[in-house]
Each structure stands twice: as structure tokens, then as C-alpha cells.
Chains A and B, each alone.
Chain A
């Protein structure tokens, strides 16, 4: 299984919106509405912020939203804040009870 492809870095000014893409294949992202997104601060464990493409766990800000089209899933961060500056990873179910993570995106708030 190859890693899902994410942009290495993205940036935006406070208050702006950014959208992080996560591109897979017909065997993973394209076949299942089972993409999750994680926020990971340096030296910390990942935190689930989106599951099943567009569902938010309790307690996660509604500034985070997810979507999917074809083989590409997306995470949108609205109203960008300084605290959003960190790493983000997507993850997709890949069939046969396996999962695959993305390459990761470092978000910078200008």
C-alpha cells in the first residue's frame, strides 16, 4: 500500500480558510467513505478531528470540516488560528481490514 498523497506544506493568514488535499486511489479513498483526519502537535500523539469523511468527534471545533470527491479527500480549516499551526494527516480504509495514512501536511499560520 502506498501512502496517500498530501501537500507537504500549506499556509494561510489568521481568519482565512485553507483546504488540505489527500489523494489516494480506487482501492482506498475512492472506494470507501472512510477517511479520517488527524492533527499532530510536535512530540505528541495524533488527535482525531474528522472521521468517515465529514464527521466531527465531540469537542472538535466546527472550523474543521471534511469532504471527498473521487479519489481525493479534503480537510478545510476555516477561520485559521495560530493554534492550528501544526501537522495534519489523512487516513483511509484500504480494504481487507487495512488502513493507509497520508504523507502529512505542515500548516503554517502567517
Chain B
């Protein structure tokens, strides 16, 4: 069945960067699109951006435009989300999800990022 498995929790210092991975299986990765969403503790879901795997085209929310880069490695069926210039407000669970029509039907288990000095 479809599955997205994300990398483990991260603890980073302010000003540094983090790169979260999302390994796909059970579907044709090269024909898919993968989005990234985050959720701070007790807060709402927040859309970060997405990548069309086949073309590598990306789109980002304006809020993250300057600090986020989403990439993919088709040889390993893995998508990546890198966030730079980290600050405490970036502490959250980060999810990847596969796009299905105009919804997102398969989600990773989430990766906890803690930004703390």
C-alpha cells in the first residue's frame, strides 16, 4: 500500500538549517506530487510548499519563499524539505503528503523539529 516514511526527530540551533526526508513506496513516485505541511503544538496545519516529482517544479507559500527548498531524488523515491535560518517559531511537526487530485491522500508519520539554543 502507499506509504511515506519520514526521517527522525531533529534538534537544531537558531540560525542553522534542517533537511527532512520523505521516502515513498507503494505508488509511482515519478508520476506524483508531494507537499509539505507543518503543525506547531496545538496549532493549525500550515502549508509550506510542494514539488511535482517528474518535472522537479516547486511552489512555496509566500511566508517560506526565502527559506525553504523542496527537492527530490527519483532514484531513491525520496522527497526532501530543507528549511534554513531556523528560529524558535519553526518548532513544529513537519509532514509530507502525496497529492491526489486536489487533495492529499497519503501522509508521512511526521518529523518533529525543535529549534532551541
Contacts and interface: CB of A to CB of B under 8 A. Distances in A.
Interface string A79-110: 00000000001010100111111111000000
Interface band, chain B: 20 to 34
Interface stretch (B13-21, B73-81, B83-91, B103-111): B103-111
Q: Chain B interface secondary structure, helix, strand, loop or mixed? A: strand
Contacts of A47: 107
A36 B103 contact: yes
A46 B101 CA distance: 17
Contacts of A98: 47, 59-62
Interface stretch (A13-21, A50-58, A69-77): A50-58
Contact of A57 (B35, B47, B97, B103): B103
B44 A45 contact: no
B10 interface: no
Q: What interface size band does chain A fall in?
A: 20 to 34
Contacts of A55: 101
Interface of B: 35, 37, 44-47, 50, 59-63, 95, 97, 100-105, 107-110
Given A36-B103, A51-B102, A52-B103, 11 more contacts: A1-B61, A40-B45, A45-B95, A45-B107, A48-B103, A57-B105, A89-B45, A98-B61, A99-B47, A101-B37, A101-B44
